[in-house]
Structure 1
């Protein structure tokens, strides 16, 4: 600021007043200061300023489990687009699906005295995410809080999976492979629960031979798909619990040129160009981020008047879309054919 003051020919106090939009500064001095700021490339030290004011800058943390998954990137975009309208910046931390990493990231963010945290948790044990103990607003996204009272934005994982599986069963499929996520994760547990519920409602029993969990990567999905298709009675359809698992299954089906109805949870880029009939349980992942950000704004007193309201649950709906064509009717073989 002293460099700016010398270049503009004014006092450091005048520079400070211009940077804080103080109306007492004359138009001539304001122009001089702004010109000097631009010529010198001056940037205010927000960290030092926040220490002087006794608070953190407008900054929130966002914890995601795997930035390599497009789902988390889309949620982050939704969070950022909403909070940026309020002058709040977002610090993203990737926990690599490890609860220990999540604990360390939470401790680091809280030590920086940030305004709040949005978390897509790595596991199902959340005592370290208690907003009361941390004295920081915590918003859960795509996961139900366990053991703590906090706001949450959930996805309709259960019904989305149940309805898509019911359509497979209605088309005549009985041998359906399930490529699932870790059961410790809320999404993994809810999607498998919805899958089994569709069998129960149809008066059928899911054959555990076709259960492949937990899977986390495209490569793991490829291996599981090859294993399923190598069985004596291979599945006639596959349900994949997220987009990465769908991609892994598709790679195997394409390489083997084998016709198996494919259903996946999560839409993804280029899904409509794969050249096979593909059913997708779709939703807007950015909306999860937007709604989580709005809940956080409310807790910060920057949105509605619900700063001290009881914890809330918002549920993002899903829809079923088809690429190529709808699930074809598949009649189970007769007893003679078996």
Structure 2
């Protein structure tokens, strides 16, 4: 009769008919394990419902328990604010945070995520860049919980914490349309990025509700830095049909657009997604799609810890709401 209680690696070894050392090598991702033997171990893991005790593993290796965070671009203050919130939860739980940046590169994301798993983190928070995350399937099967943040992942069961990107963009552009603007520019980062595609969908929603469509001549994407956004805005302002309003799809694009608008005192109403430092000190009013950045990071970290404590099948999504606020207007 099989004993009751949480299965151990000894139980897995007995179930698979292999040595404890072989089970340890498979579970800890060590190289040069016979594929057939690894399959036997993983099958036994699935049958028994074994979950790796990441805390015990980290204590054996001399390290404290950790949360791994793979962000998309640490030069963006949004991700630094998210990381601060995750770190606060980790500190509260006497854990450490290991943070890395994929720089919006799928191959780098995969390398970083698997490296963190090799370091036996207690759980992994990923801002997805890759199209398929089945490369983490084995880690999930071995008990490493994964939470996707800011963008949905695919290929594995995992909880997801998202922002209402589409609703926030729709509300901002709807205000500009309601104010009577006929020439509304839209500045975005690459539309291949999930958040950008959702915000662009919100722009289209707002135009459609007003019985209109965005003017392709006033839509510019691929703006990854404030500098390129500034240059794009300057070109629009110099055109024969300059915009009277602009929607900027993230904070860095907003900063770049302001660098073009403010020096020349252009009469252009601006709405932007994401708040940013010193926005309240701007000499003119702008509208900002705001939200609780800390809530995103806190929810991701706490969801990860709940999954680690009580693993469950399936996955859940949580949508963090947005709101429109005034910024600037300082005289």
The answer for the alignment partner of 1:316 in structure 2 is 320
Report the count of equivalent residues. 273
Asked if residue 223 in structure 1 is aligned to residue 231 in structure 2, the reply is yes
C-alpha displacement at 1:54, in angstroms?
6.6
Q: Deviations over 1:82-115 (max 9, x none)?
A: 1221111110011122112111101211111211
Q: Secondary structure in 2 aligned to 1:110?
A: helix
Q: Using structure 2 for the length normalisation, give the TM-score.
A: 0.78
1:284, 1:163 → 2: CA distance? 17
Q: Report the CA distance shift for 1:212/1:127 in structure 2 as closer, same or farther (over 3 A).
A: farther
Q: Name structure 1 gaps, 5 residues minimum.
A: 1-48, 326-338
Contact 1:50–1:57 (CA under 8 A) maintained in structure 2: no
Q: Report the CA distance shift for 1:198/1:112 in structure 2 as closer, same or farther (over 3 A).
A: same
Q: Secondary structure in 1 aligned to 2:325?
A: strand
Contact 2:59–2:65 (CA under 8 A) maintained in structure 1: no
2:188, 2:132 → 1: CA distance? 20
The answer for the alignment partner of 1:30 in structure 2 is none
2:229, 2:305 → 1: CA distance? 38
Q: Secondary structure in 1 aligned to 2:113?
A: helix
Stretch deviating more after TM superposition (164-173 or 125-134): 125-134
Alignment of 1:57-136 (within 5 A): 57-130=64-137, 132=140, 136=144
The answer for the alignment partner of 1:197 in structure 2 is 205
Q: Report the CA distance shift for 1:193/1:129 in structure 2 as closer, same or farther (over 3 A).
A: farther
Contact 1:181–1:187 (CA under 8 A) maintained in structure 2: no
Asked if residue 289 in structure 1 is aligned to residue 297 in structure 2, the reply is yes
The answer for the alignment partner of 1:155 in structure 2 is 163
Q: Using structure 1 for the length normalisation, give the TM-score.
A: 0.76
Root mean square deviation, CA, Å: 2.0
1:128, 1:217 → 2: CA distance? 31
Q: Report the CA distance shift for 1:147/1:227 in structure 2 as closer, same or farther (over 3 A).
A: farther
Contact 1:124–1:186 (CA under 8 A) maintained in structure 2: no
Q: Deviations over 1:292-334 (max 9, x none)?
A: 0011011110xxx5x3152111111101001246xxxxxxxxx
